[in-house]
C-alpha cells in the first residue's frame, strides 16, 4: 500500500470483537462512536468461539440433537439483547462468528475483508500472565495490518457514574 492509499481519519469497515465480557460490552461504545463519526461505514461484530469449546460441544451434537442450532441461538440472543439495541439507526451493522483460536481468526477475518479499524476490549491481567500465556489483544495489536483501538478495563473503572435514565 502506498501513502496515497492510506485512509487517515475515515474508516469504511470497522471490526468490533467481543467475548461478551463486561469490558467488551464497554468497548462496544467506542465501536458505535467510530461508526457514527465515520458516516457510511460498516460496523461488524465478530465473536470467535474457541476451538476447545467447539470440539467439546461437537461430541454432543449427535446425542443431543440440534446443539449447533441451540448454541447459535444462544449467541444470537446475547447479541440481540446486549448489542443490537445500542446500534443507532443509520449504522450498517453486521454480525459474524468464527470457530478457532481467537487472535488468528480475528486477524484472518480482518485481512480477508479489508477492515480499516479493529476495536477490542482488554481485560486487566498481570504482566507475568500476559508474558507467559500471551493474549488475544496483544497478538492482534502486534500483527494487525490496520489500526487497533484497545479499550482497557481500567478505563471503564475510571468513568464517572452516569445519571439514571430519565432522572436528573
pLDDT of 27 higher than 80 = yes
- The model's pTM is 0.78
Q: Are the beta carbons of 35 and 14 closer than 8 angstroms?
A: yes
The closest alpha carbon to 42, from 6, 108, 95, belongs to 95
> How do beta strands 117-122 and 148-152 pair?
parallel
Domain boundaries defined on the chain: 11-156
CA 103 → CA 26, 60, 134, distances in Å? 20, 26, 10
Note the pLDDT tens digit of each residue in 33-85: 999 999 999 999 999 988 765 555 555 444 444 546 777 888 999 999 999 99
**Would you give the DSSP letter of residue 4?**
G
* Coil, strand or helix at 119: strand
Would you say domain 11-156 falls under CATH 3.40.50.620? yes
Note the pLDDT tens digit of each residue in 131-148: 444 588 889 999 999 999
Amino acid at each position: 500500500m502506498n501513502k496515497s492509499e492510506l485512509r487517515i481519519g475515515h474508516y469504511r469497515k470497522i471490526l468490533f470483537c467481543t467475548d461478551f465480557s463486561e469490558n467488551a460490552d464497554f468497548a462496544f461504545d467506542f465501536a458505535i462512536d467510530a461508526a457514527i463519526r465515520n458516516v457510511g461505514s460498516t460496523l461488524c461484530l465478530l465473536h470467535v468461539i474457541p476451538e476447545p469449546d467447539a470440539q467439546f460441544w461437537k461430541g454432543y451434537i449427535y446425542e443431543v440433537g440440534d446443539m449447533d442450532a441451540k448454541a447459535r441461538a444462544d449467541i444470537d440472543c446475547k447479541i440481540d439483547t446486549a448489542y443490537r439495541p445500542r446500534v443507532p439507526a443509520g449504522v450498517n451493522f453486521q454480525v459474524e462468528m468464527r470457530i478457532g483460536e481467537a487472535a488468528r481468526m480475528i486477524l484472518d477475518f480482518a485481512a480477508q475483508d479489508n477492515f480499516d479499524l479493529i476495536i477490542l476490549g482488554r481485560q486487566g491481567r498481570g504482566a507475568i500472565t500476559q508474558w507467559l500465556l500471551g493474549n488475544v489483544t496483544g497478538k492482534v495489536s502486534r500483527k494487525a495490518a490496520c489500526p487497533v483501538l484497545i479499550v482497557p478495563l481500567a478505563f471503564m473503572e475510571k468513568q464517572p457514574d452516569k445519571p439514571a435514565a430519565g432522572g436528573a
